[in-house]
């Protein structure tokens, strides 16, 4: 039972480069999320997908795009990376997005933008 799988685990980019962070869950969850974690800031929601075919902005969406490819996969794209996007990125999912459901997290992607 893999849960939520994120790739890659580590990535170094130069300013202006693009890349896509991949996330897949095997729990048949409807809702998926992308968070970033910065020291002393806790987790902040970038984008979420309440269900397949829908995506919405979270608290800090600027500089990112997302794709809900199918029910399993939710990718996060940085079109032109900036040093301010250096962070640890977490993908999460839960069954329907309801308040009474816990989030299942992946193990994170550590991204450095030089």
Partner 1 sequence: AQSVTQPDIHITVSEGASLELRCNYSYGATPYLFWYVQSPGQGLQLLLKYFSGDTLVQGIKGFEAEFKRSQSSFNLRKPSVHWSDAAEYFCAVDSGGSNYKLTFGKGTLLTVNP
Interface map 4-33 toward partner 1 (x if CB under 8 A): x--------------------------x-x
3-state secondary structure of 45: strand
- Considering beta carbons, is residue 6 or 85 the nearer one to partner 1? 6
Select from 1, 14, 42, 62 the one that contacts partner 1 (CB under 8 A). Answer: 42
- Is cis: bond before 63, omega within 30 of 0? no
Question: Residue 89, Cβ neighbours under 10 Å: how many?
Answer: 22
**Which range in 12-20, 67-75, 76-84, 104-112 contacts partner 1 by CB under 8 A?**
104-112
Indicate whether 101 belongs to the interface with partner 1 (CB under 8 A).
Answer: yes
Residues 6+ apart with CB under 8 A from 72: 24, 25, 26
- Residue pair 67/77 in contact (Cβ under 8 Å)? The answer is yes
CA angle 61, 97, 60 (to 5 degrees): 10
66 binds partner 1 (CB under 8 A): no
> Which residues make up the interface to partner 1 (CB under 8 A)?
4, 31, 33, 40-45, 48, 50, 56, 58, 90, 92, 94, 97-103, 105-108
């Amino acid at each position: 039972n893999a849960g939520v799988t994120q790739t890659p685990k580590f990535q170094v980019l130069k300013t202006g480069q693009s890349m896509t962070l991949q996330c897949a869950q095997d729990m048949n969850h409807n809702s998926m999320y992308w968070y970033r974690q910065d020291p002393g800031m806790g987790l902040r929601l970038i984008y979420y997908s309440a269900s397949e075919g829908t995506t919405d902005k979270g608290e800090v969406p600027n500089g990112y795009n997302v794709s809900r490819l199918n029910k399993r996969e939710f990718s996060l794209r940085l079109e032109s990376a900036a040093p301010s996007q250096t962070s640890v990125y977490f993908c999460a999912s839960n069954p329907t997005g309801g308040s009474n459901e816990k989030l299942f997290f992946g193990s994170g992607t550590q991204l450095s933008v030089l």
